Chain A
Amino acid sequence: MDTIDRQIINQLQNAFPICDRPYQVMAESFGISEQELIERIEQMLEQKQLSRFGPMYHAERMGGGLSLCAMRLPDDQFDRVCEQVNSFPEVAHNYARDHKFNMWFVLATETPERIEEVLQEIEAVTGYPVYNMPKKEEFFIGLKFEL
């Protein structure tokens, strides 16, 4: 990764334009050609320096439900519960964390009402309580991850 790649990452965290030739517009600010910018983004996606490029949709505002949930599991139950939790298509991400609350997953559902139903289904099938921690407010100050 060179200086231009770093500039691209820093700059493209801000607004990418909606216009006929947006890559051309951005490329000019980096002093490179449109084609080179497209190739660099492609390469950074392939090498996973970027996890994605494009519009980021706001799940709740599209009418869906989204929540962060946590569970406290005994070590000897962890793998079994993990398999059961992950089998729900509504479970989008799931992380093990070093804490008494050792399983943290994100539920994404078609409707907000469905969150509560899935929680109850997970509790029923695993036998352990699920702590629902939907965000009440987001302090999203834009991304400013500088390289």
Chain B
Amino acid sequence: MPDNHQAQLDELDREIILATQSGLPLTPQPYHTVAEQVGCSTDEVMSRMQRMLDDGIIRRIGAVPNHYTLGFRGNGMTVWDVPDEKVRECGQKIGALDYVSHAYHRPRHPPEWNYNLFAMVHGKDRDEVMIKVEKIAELLGADNRGHEVLFSSKILKKTGLRLGGGPN
């Protein structure tokens, strides 16, 4: 499904999203708790969330580990210049690696920015990230026409992605 595909959401869907976007209730019957908050039946909440999951509006339900707190102190944004016609093939290869959390095809901005494939690489420290980056370079072979690793030096702002643009 293309990323610009937009599903139709009604008011109740939006209320369910608002009630759960900061997390699923930690109660024995979490969907029942949501149902009480938005004023509908538990079955309605479950079937709507299942539909949103099937439609890809919900990517998945689960835990998001904090790489940094869990000891993965090296997190590098790696950027690659690969032939445009092979970006999908290269992206799938990189995305399948267990130390890569996200891989995206993004536009180039020549001449200043010639990279078209991004991948977040995680390791215990920066040295480990660099070793993994070399592995990726080997994996891509001649398709890799250049790459760099951009480490973050500071978080300047971090808020959740919120529906409704309310305060975080």
Contacts and interface: CB of A to CB of B under 8 A. Distances in A.
Interface of A: 8-9, 12-16, 18-24, 34-35, 38, 41-42, 44-45, 47-64, 66, 68, 70, 72, 82, 85-86, 89-99, 101, 103-106, 108, 110, 112, 131-147
B61 A15 contact: yes
A99 B158 contact: no
A136 B148 contact: no
B137 interface: no
Contact of A112 (B4, B103, B157): B4
B3 A60 contact: yes
Contacts, number: 247
B17 to A, nearest CB: 6
Interface residues of B, dominant DSSP: mixed
A82 B87 CA distance: 32
B106 A135 contact: yes
A54 B96 contact: no
Contacts of B106: 68, 133-136
B112 A55 contact: no
A52 B22 contact: yes
